[in-house]
């Protein structure tokens, strides 16, 4: 006689939740049960493992997914620009908001009052679930699952919420009555695309230079470098 493991109502709910929001079928439910177990519940349960290790793993997996995507989507962006875009996508504010949007805390095993639930619990739990998906199904499916969520909640739109460095620079120069001039240094063709190398002069001195696939992008790149000289790193 074949014996079947009894499935709890809790496990059934977790499977349905993961399928609904992450678009994957659970293989090893233990990963997800751990991902949804907050440390506050351990004392009540008399032991067990919280989601903190999976949170650590999920944080690294999320970084890899976002970096992988940005690297291929923006082949002309430099390391500083890519870092800036990544920081918007995987910021605490973004992940906390996404965790709230998919009502993660409502699915969690935690023992605390509603007033004690900090925003960070949502983002931490989201990372833990990503870690669980990775352990259960591997990188390829995790990447597809995360990108699906990002698209559904327009997280990728944050990439384009860039600081207008050119305007910031003009404002700074205007207040100090300094001249500012953008100039195309050269145009060239590379990898099937037209490229523009732009420099910005402030009070006659070159303070930034960058290459872009359009004059506008090159201007923003040059302005960002100039802003870094003036204001420090622009994150």
Phi/psi region, residue 232 (left: phi>0; alpha: psi -120 to 50; beta: rest), is: left
> Which of 34, 55, 69, 127 does the annotation list as catalytic?
127
Contacts 24+ apart (CB under 8 A), 175-181: 178/202, 178/203, 179/203, 179/204
Quick one: which of 147, 55, 68 has its CA closest to 104? 55
Using CA atoms, how far residue 228 sits from 9, 84, 208, 211, in Å, is 55, 13, 9, 16
Phi and psi, residue 176, nearest 5°: -105, 5
Which residue intervals of 52-205 are DSSP H helices? Answer: 52-73, 79-89, 92-101, 104-107, 119-137, 139-152, 165-175
Taking residue 103's Cβ as centre, other Cβ atoms within 10 Å add up to 12
> Quick one: CA dihedral 184, 218, 175, 227, positive or negative?
negative
76 in catalytic set: no
59 in catalytic set: yes
> Which of 59, 69, 136, 219 does the annotation list as catalytic?
59
> Quick one: CA dihedral 214, 217, 221, 227, positive or negative?
positive
Phi/psi region, residue 23 (left: phi>0; alpha: psi -120 to 50; beta: rest), is: left
List residues with catalytic annotation: 59, 127
């Amino acid at each position: 006689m074949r014996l079947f493991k009894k499935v709890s109502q809790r496990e059934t709910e977790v499977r349905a939740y993961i399928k609904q929001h992450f678009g994957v079928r659970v293989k090893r439910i233990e990963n997800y049960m751990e991902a949804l177990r907050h440390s506050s519940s351990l004392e009540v349960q008399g032991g067990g493992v919280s989601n903190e290790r999976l949170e650590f793993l999920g944080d690294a997996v999320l970084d890899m997914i976002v970096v992988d995507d940005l690297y291929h989507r923006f082949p002309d962006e430099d390391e500083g620009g890519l870092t800036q875009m990544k920081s918007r996508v995987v910021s605490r504010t973004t992940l906390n908001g996404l965790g709230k949007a998919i009502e993660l805390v409502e699915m969690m095993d935690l023992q605390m009052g509603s007033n004690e639930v900090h925003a960070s619990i949502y983002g931490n739990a989201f990372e833990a679930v990503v870690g669980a998906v990775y352990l259960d199904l591997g990188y390829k499916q995790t990447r597809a699952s995360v990108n699906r969520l990002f698209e559904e909640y327009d997280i990728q739109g944050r990439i384009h919420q860039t600081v207008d460095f050119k305007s910031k620079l003009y404002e700074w120069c205007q207040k100090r009555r300094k001249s500012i001039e953008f100039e195309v240094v050269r145009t060239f063709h590379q990898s099937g695309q037209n490229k523009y190398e732009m420099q910005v002069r402030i009070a006659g001195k070159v303070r930034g230079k960058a290459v872009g696939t359009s004059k506008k992008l090159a201007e923003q790149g040059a302005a960002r470098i100039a802003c870094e000289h003036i204001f420090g790193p622009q994150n």
